Amino acid sequence: MSPRAWREPLPLKTYPLGPPDPNPPFQRQNHTWACYPYPLLDDVLEGEPTVRDWNALHLENEYLHCIVLPELGGHLYSLLDKVTGREVFYRNNVVKYGLIAIRGAWISGGIEFNFPTGHTYTTVSPVSWELGEDEGGAWLAVGNICRVSRMEWWVKLTLEPGRRRLKEEVWLHNPMPYRQRHWFWNNSAVPARDDLRLVYPARKARLAGGIVDYPVHRDVDWSRYVNHTHADDIFTLDVEEDFFGCHYDQLDFGMVHVADRAKLKGKKFFTWGTADDGMRWVDLLTDDDGQYVEIQSGLFETQSEWGWLQPFETKNWEEYWLPEHGMDGWVWANEEAALNFDVRGAFVQVGATTTAKREGAQLALLSDGETVWSQGLDLDPAVPFVFQVPLPLEPGWKGELVLTQRDAEILRYVHPPRHTTQPKVAETGENVVPKPKPEEECTAEELCERADQAMLRLEHKEARRLYELGLERDAECVEAHCGLGALDVRSGRHVAASQHLGQVSSHDHAALGTDWLVTLLQVRSGSLSSIPQAMGDGRWRPFRRPGARHHERSRELVLDEALKTLEHTTATYRTDSSTPILEYSLARMCDACGSEDEAENAFGRARSCPPDLYFPSRLDELPVLEWAVERDPSDWKARYYLGNLLSFFDRHEEAMAQWRAAVGIDGSYAVLHRNLGFGALHWEENAKAAAEHYRRAIERNPDDHRYYLDLVGIFAKHLDKTPAQRLTLLRSAPEAVQQKWQVAAHVAELLVETGEH
């Protein structure tokens, strides 16, 4: 059959999920788990499921049927191997949310595409998608623009004609004029069974306890699922091959992943473990589909590593997912085929399967370059070949298994594989963790390296401290000025950024990556004519205007086109719950064009927008909201939004000032009081004031269970350390709040503390 692509709803039993948290997630800032401007989705509800028709994208050829759910982050939901009738990945037949993802709600199964961070922002949210068919096969693409970074990702999945494999193409792009941290991991799940065996061509791995030998460590074979009693993250290291995967011995079925190791280094295994503390996740995440494990592929060797995506840089690569069966296992693979090679006393069991039909192929066993056995084959993806070759092999025998077709090599396996000959970890000293150098002994450059690592962890406050300390050691440290300039650009402090970046203007901007930071500053300040002309790489040149009149006409033309575009966009997306930034932007544009009536109308619509869930985060929004506050100082919503944005920029004192002004105008909005309570506690270290703000938030919205839990936390850590007052507070909440599992669990803990067993 010809590959085909189509869209068809998929009915799935779906458990309830509460609405997004209307409180900006400032508690996650300066942390790897920062997710602002996305709201938290942490209200996983108890209750009966209902059947929901999910939008599903389908691909199918003669061997495979693929289903992707774009409303759930673009998850690959199912990949059915039509040859064996088995799912290649773990298929969860219900949508049951657990609190695992960076925003809270998460689902298990299939493949989760993670960029620019793990269990990412849109893992259970809608993403963009496309479907198509062409000479290359049937394909679908899912992707998204990240609201935190404005970076973009796309994953294209293709089923090719006559191929028993799924092709994955990935594109990552940074459209911003400054570097940004990123990673990419395919989080693929497969069923957890006692016969599950991992096929990872590695000699060492990183576990929670450090670097260890792999697969056998402390006399335990970690390639066997049954040997993992408790949760484990295993990252294989220094892998020199392009494949990894798994095999089920009893089913004689498995999965192969292939990608260029130069582009995709990460090969990870995760399990919850077979003990009770791990198996409880079965009930939390599914109904009848049992436990799963994760077999992940990623850009970097471990998930504690991040990389920089440079200004305007695009990364792309290909990956392949192959089912295999009927060979009694496999040891070697590429995107075309998989081989098995198992020495069993006087016999060698060999097997071969390919992803496409190949007539006239040959499988040969070589020893010292001489063929000692060969077999002609007509290969079919649905029919694997297995042979037992009787050979008088000696211990330590070396040889090769080669699959060819018409003298063209398809796949070659060398025995023993090179990773098995690597020295043990104890012999290399890698299991000894060196003590970090004391901070007072670090040079300015070393402090900047630590600051860069803090930036990769999104710990901006710590990064700023280290950069500033670097400048104390060396006032001309280029790296420190660049780092502080980047932080100031991110937070909208253009004057401060100009001062830092101006210190490195005589250095090699291209090497440091700061040229586009300077460009950005000039564009933001409107000083296009002063952009350095010596950038010299041809990426951008300022438009040379021949005269003032032409300049004014060009400006009018640009404004006119911008106004038309903004009017169209605002009208298209104008609803009762539309984001107010469109209306504020339209009002500002009309004001600049002298259209006072239109400006006032748009401003009125902006003021009437509900404030829930608008969390501004872009530098573009800063001048718009500042203009709105200046135009109408009595607009409390504009001040609330501006405070949120300033807080995201780590400008906490300014944020608190805007929120206090907003409360002075209209104190009816509970989230405003919560923000002030959060800021009083964490930025001003005033627990008493924080508690009072949270009390006011509860008065205005007594149905938000988070306010009670936050207030209880303030009492426990800073004020009344006895459980009685906390218990009284929680018992005073409405019944619906007390029935929340988060609150009920806390009440249970307090009852134990007070002896009310």
- Residue range 444-490, pLDDT digits in tens: 999 999 999 999 999 999 999 999 999 999 998 999 998 998 899 88
What's the mean per-residue pLDDT of the chain? Answer: 90
* pLDDT computed for residue 114 by the predictor: 97
Task: Return the pLDDT at 432.
Answer: 79
Mean pLDDT of 96-117: 97
Q: Which residues pair with 7 in a beta bridge?
A: 57
Q: Name the band, by pLDDT with cuts 50, 70 and 90, for residue 16.
A: very high
CB atoms within 10 A of CB 412: 15
pLDDT (0 to 100) of residue 346? 82
Mapping DSSP onto H, E and C, the string for 9-57 reads CEEEEECCECCCCCCCCHHHCCCCCCCCCCCCECCECCCCCEEEEECCE
Please count the other Cβ atoms lying within 10 Å of the Cβ belonging to residue 178: 18
Tokens 């936050």 -> residue: 710
Q: Pick the residue with more confidence: 534 or 81?
A: 81
**534 falls in which pLDDT band (50, 70, 90)?**
very low
| pLDDT for 53 beyond 60 | yes
Whether 525 shows a pLDDT value over 70: the answer reads no
CA separation (Å) from 20 to 31, 44, 415, 636? 21, 10, 55, 23
- Whole-angstrom distance, CA of residue 743 vs CA of residue 757: 17
Contact 338, 256 (CB under 8 A): yes
CA distance 693 to 680: 9
pLDDT band at residue 557 using 50, 70 and 90 as cut-offs: low
Query: For residue 548, what pLDDT is reported?
Result: 39
pLDDT of residue 266: 96
- At residue 246's C-alpha, the angle toward residues 243 and 247, to 5°, is 130
pLDDT given at position 519: 55
Contacts 24+ apart (CB under 8 A), 278-287: 278/230, 278/231, 281/98, 284/96, 284/98, 285/92, 285/96, 285/98, 285/107, 285/108, 286/92, 286/93, 286/94, 286/96, 286/108, 287/13, 287/93, 287/94, 287/96
Give the whole-angstrom CA distance, residue 439 versus residue 441.
Answer: 5
Contact 46, 86 (CB under 8 A): no
Would you say residue 713 has pLDDT above 90? yes
Would you state the pLDDT for residue 545? 32
Using CA atoms, how far apart are residues 683 and 605, in angstroms rounded to an integer?
A: 34
Length of the chain: 757
Residue 631: the pLDDT is: 95
DSSP 79-115: EEETTTTEESSPPPSEE--EEEETTEEE--SSEEEE-
Copy the structure tokens of residue 298: 């990623």
Structure tokens at 143: 């992707």
Q: What pLDDT, on a 0 to 100 scale, did the predictor assign at position 466?
A: 97
Between 431 and 702, name the one with better pLDDT. 702
Residue 37 has pLDDT above 90, yes or no: yes
- pLDDT at position 571 is 85
Residue 298 is predicted with a pLDDT of 97
More confident residue, 14 or 723: 14
Give residue 696's pLDDT. 98
Q: Is the pLDDT of residue 529 over 70?
A: no
Is the pLDDT at 70 greater than 90? The verdict is: yes
pLDDT of residue 52: 97
pLDDT at 267 over 90: yes
- Name which residue leads in pLDDT, 568 or 393: 568
Residue 332 three-state SS: strand
pLDDT digits (tens, 9 = 90+) for 198-238: 999 999 999 888 899 999 998 999 999 999 999 999 999 99
SS3 219: coil
Q: What pLDDT is stored for residue 574 in this prediction?
A: 75
Give, in order, the Cα–Cα distances in Å from 41 to each of 19, 23, 45, 110, 551.
7, 11, 11, 21, 49
Q: Which of 110, 108, 72 is nearest to 88 (CA)?
A: 110
